[in-house]
Chain A
Amino acid sequence: MSILRLEKRRNYDEIAEFGDIGTPGSCRESIKLLVPVNSSKCSEAAPKRCAMNFFHKILFPVDLSHASPKIAPYVSEVARKFEAEIHLLFVVRVFEHFTSLHLPDATIKNIEDEVARRGEEKLQEFMEAFFESDPCKVKVVFGDPAEEIFKYVELEGIDLIIIGSHGKKGIEQVLFGSVANRVVKKSAVPVLTVNPHGRPVG
């Protein structure tokens, strides 16, 4: 836990000293210089810390609703500016909570598999439509959206999440998405919430 915490810590002042923060490459080089200076404190965490200051890996969790395409231009723009890699994540909600209905296991599994299969197809289409020229990875996972987003962030070393503030559910133009809400509240990395019903991009 403590190592994790150190990795997550950001330190701007030190990086500012090195002036050029332009490319990921130059940033990594400057950190090599930093390590000896900073050896008293968590030197092994330093490269990670630097990486956390600038956005190298951007996670864009998509629900494949009509809101997702509206947020895509923002993601693409930010990614290009920071020369970052885009990760698209689609979370298949699991149907565990339907167990009280005594559905046979096989049925639930079938539905989940079907959703995952279709999700994967859709996600691929989505990527081709919006991020064709960007470095981009796609992933479909099972579980609770917010939890899976955090797991993915941890696993892949994501340093920025861009998420639609209003998703599928409810009176969507008015209420903040429940997933976005939870992500913003608990995330260890910065979260950019974009209102899909806001001003058009461009």
Chain B
Amino acid sequence: MKLHKLLVPVDFSKCSRAAFNYSKLIAKKFSANIYLLHVVDKRHVEKIAEVNGESEDELSKKLSLQAKQNLERFLANNGSEGLIVEKIITVGIPFHAIALKAQALGTDMIVMGGHGRVGNGQIDKIFFGSAAERVVRLLPCPVLCVPQEDVDTEIGEKEKL
């Protein structure tokens, strides 16, 4: 099995942290590289632009910059351990952007956080319950879904990236 490229979409939530930690383990085991991806939700950009009158381009730039800082902070808090080869920030609709990136990179596995008994996670938001879920399900590469950590660790740590 070829496993060189891991795509890890992060939304800086607790569950994406769990996924990231798992991806590091797998990357070490398989000597693979990690591609971190954060998608700035286009729909949010549109809505914000509508409300405060800024142009969408400007806003996208601003949010991407902010996301970049968040990503750096996320890495500083979780340790990159030299496994990350690329940090990607795109603007788009999450599931679509992830699918496109996976295809473009020729990703061997996607590692995502989500679900668990706690409630909605990344996967929930991105994969399920949308009409477009089929697009993601058609992805040819395996997807590792890491459940969210538990309630007690969730409380009070939510804000910590």
Q: Cβ of A10 and Cβ of B18 under 8 Å apart?
A: yes
New A-B contacts (17) at CB < 8 Å, excluding given A12-B21, A73-B1, A175-B134 = A9-B152, A9-B153, A53-B25, A78-B1, A81-B29, A165-B143, A176-B134, A187-B145, A188-B116, A188-B117, A190-B147, A191-B145, A192-B109, A192-B143, A192-B145, A195-B140, A198-B140
- Residue B150 interfacial (CB < 8 Å): yes
User: Which A residues are in CB contact (< 8 Å) with B25?
Assistant: 12, 21, 53-54
Shortest CB distance A131–B (Å)? 15
Residues of A within 8 A of B22 (CB): 190
Cross-chain pair count, CB within 8 angstroms: 90
With contacts A53-B25, A81-B29, A202-B1 taken as known, whether A192 is within 8 angstroms of B142 at the C-beta atoms is: yes
Q: List 10 A-B contacts (CB under 8 A).
A: A8-B150, A12-B21, A74-B1, A184-B145, A186-B115, A190-B22, A194-B142, A195-B137, A198-B139, A199-B141
Is the Cβ of A189 less than 8 Å from the Cβ of B137?
A: no
Residues of B within 8 A of A10 (CB): 18, 21, 149
Give the interface residue-count category, chain B: 35 or more
Task: Return the CB mask of A138-176 against B: 1 if under 8 Å, else 0.
Answer: 000000000000000000000000000110000000111
Contact A198 B141 (CB under 8 A): yes
Find residues 13-31 in chain B having any chain A CB closer than 8 Å to their own CB.
Answer: 18, 21-22, 24-25, 28-30
Q: Which residues of B are at the interface with A, using a C-beta cutoff of 8 A?
A: 1-2, 18, 21-22, 24-25, 28-30, 79, 109, 115-117, 123-124, 128, 133-134, 137-147, 149-153
